[in-house]
Amino acid sequence: MDRPQVHSTIIGAKRKEQLLENIGATKFILNQPDTDLLDTVSQKTAPYPQWMVDFQSGDRFPEPVDTSMECDASGD
């Protein structure tokens, strides 16, 4: 519930014990490393066809080659 995009929580319980357990869970707070991990693994992938374009274009633009080192014509 500490996320601005979370507006409500839906809980479901058939028994009083379940309801009390669900209410108690509202006091549970994740630490920052756990929150960061959840953010990382729940990132959405780009929709088709963007993911395909990104995948296929990955090696089309290789890193620039450093040409500042000049070779001696004698091979030394």
74 lies in a domain?
no
Instruction: Name the residue with tokens 């080192």.
Output: 69
HSE (side-chain half, CA atoms, 13 Å) at 63: 2
Within 10 Å of residue 22's Cβ, how many Cβ atoms? 14
36 lies in a domain?
yes
23 lies in a domain?
yes
Q: What span, in angstroms and rounded, lies between the C-alpha atoms of 7 and 1? A: 8
The whole-number pLDDT of residue 62 equals 66
The one-digit pLDDT tens for each residue of the chain (76 residues) are 567 777 777 778 899 999 999 888 888 888 999 989 998 998 888 888 888 888 887 676 667 777 776 655 555 5
Q: Which domain holds residue 24?
A: 16-57
The whole-number pLDDT of residue 18 equals 93
21 lies in a domain?
yes
Domain count, the chain: 1
**Contact present, 46 and 56 (Cβ < 8 Å):** no
Q: What span, in angstroms and rounded, lies between the C-alpha atoms of 2 and 38? A: 14
62 lies in a domain?
no
